[in-house]
Structure 1
């Protein structure tokens, strides 16, 4: 039957910026998806505690005023999202996130910022797994396809409907459906168990990062560094 035909957990964050170590959560969604349909859904609006830049508001539509009036404290949102995700991982259920290293790294940074238990702490020292990242998988199995690799573009490639891009709930649902569509198109991906697929994605991302770093350096950026860690990046000063 394959992992893609079982329960999948779509996960997405909308944030104040693009640096996962500095940006803050604005909205979050955790969506249970079975057979491509929503089986459960939780969403959060946070007051990030810092101004939301206009460029970020233009993307996800959340203003400072709305976040302050309607949002929960940022620490409560980060704690609730982390509890939700680690509950699924503890049960062996795959969490699907598009460009997972951004969302999970940002969540981990929020937990550190607020002095909350890390994802690993909540899992008794185990890493957050299994994770399914359609971005990493598609980039490996169809590496020579031209064009953008945004969620919208890759959904279009696989015939997945994305109702409202940059809405956390819609993006989380689309990511789960996209993971299923990729596995349907690529039987070798579908045949892997969730744990093995997680391990392969670590390898695939590291290989991509090394290749991309080499490309950037050949093009004249001698100091280019592309982080090969997946699905969690570590802040500067803690990497080994």
Structure 2
């Protein structure tokens, strides 16, 4: 849906003559500095992936962050940071991503690299696979670090929706047993050699998004894409709530 800013209109809904040029229409959830009417693929997209000490952003910490930038179907840049979480990495977390205490010994803390990470995300549509996880950890770490830039990137602004290919994978591949990143990459013929390492996961997620975009059910315009993603998320959340409802 699109929301029009307050303006004077006739009862018919038609605007008063001579003020059409003053009207601004914004698509909910989009970054205001990016044109909602053009193809999202024509905007820079910053895919974020994080590896952590656990699953709770309130108590766990980041140990690796990667940002992969894409535009027009191509990968333009990759950046990654190993981060010292200031605590031991649990064995069960190391079993997932392979990062050990000795790998982050002597590495910077999050606050020391926060500005670099935000610079990598600047001016781009934020994105992640299962975005609520990565977004939650990024915002929690920024809040703990007290990082509040005067001009925060779209990824840091809570009103900006992140692109999440998982939402569309669940819709377009409903019959698949799993829509986990590794399974979707394999299904779509995308290489993912070092699964659960941040750079490899972020790039694979970007390539999965580009592959999914070939389906005509995926909107091309940035604003339309975000509105459809919002609609699908509501439908999927309602379906999960019904599954969990006691009988």
TM-score (norm 2): 0.75
Which has the larger share of helix?
A: 1
Structure 2: state its 5+ residue gaps. Answer: 1-37
1:21 to 58, 78, 84: 58
Measured at CA, do residues 210 and 21 of structure 1 come closer, stay the same or move farther in structure 2, by a change above 3 Å?
Answer: farther
Of residues 182, 186, 211, the one that matches 1:181 is 211
Equivalent of residue 55 in structure 1, options 89, 92, 96 = 92
Match of 1:235 in 2: none
2:4 matched residue in structure 1: none
- The alpha-carbon deviation at position 96 of structure 1 amounts to 2.7
Q: Please, which runs of 5 or more residues in structure 1 have no aligned partner?
A: 221-240
Are the aligned partners of 1:32 and 1:39 in contact in 2 as well (CA < 8 Å)? yes
Would the aligned equivalents of 1:132 and 1:179 in 2 still touch at CA under 8 Å? no
2:220 is the alignment partner of 1:192: yes
Q: 1:126 to 1:150 in 2, by over 3 A?
A: closer
| 2:83 partner SS | strand
- CA shift, 1:108, in A, is 0.5
- TM-superposed deviation, 1:11: 1.6
TM-score (norm 1): 0.77
Cα distance 1:205–1:108, how it changes in 2: closer, same or farther (>3 A)?
same
- CA deviation after TM superposition for structure 1 residue 181, in Å: 0.2
Identify the residue that residue 139 of structure 1 maps to in structure 2. Answer: 170
The corresponding residue for 2:25 is: none
Partner of 1:103: 134
1:4 and 1:179 in contact (8 A); partners too: no
Report the CA distance shift for 1:25/1:126 in structure 2 as closer, same or farther (over 3 A): closer
2:108 counterpart residue number? 72
Correspondent of 1:9 among 43, 46, 67: 46
1:214 maps to: 242
Deviation at 1:51, TM superposition (A): 1.6
Conserved? CA contact 1:130–1:194, under 8 Å = no
SS in 2 for 1:72: coil
Residues 33, 126 of structure 1: alpha-carbon distance in 2 compared, 3 angstrom cutoff: closer
In the comparison of the two structures, how many residue pairs are matched? 209
Maintained 8 Å contact 1:78/1:107? no
- Whether 1:94 aligns to 2:125 is yes
Quote the RMSD (CA, aligned, Å): 2.6
Give the corresponding residue for 1:41. Answer: 78
In 2, are the aligned partners of 1:129 and 1:198 still within 8 Å (CA)?
Answer: no
SS where residue 193 of structure 2 aligns? coil
Q: Distance in 2 between matches of 1:21 and 1:179?
A: 29
**Hey, what's the Cα distance between the residues in 1 that align with 2:96 and 2:212?**
26
SS of structure 2 residue aligned to 1:122: coil
Q: Larger C-alpha radius of gyration, 1 or 2?
A: 2
Residues 5 and 117 from structure 1, CA distance in 2 versus in 1: closer, same or farther, beyond 3 angstroms?
closer
- Distance, in Å, in 2 between the alignment partners of 1:195 and 1:202 is 11
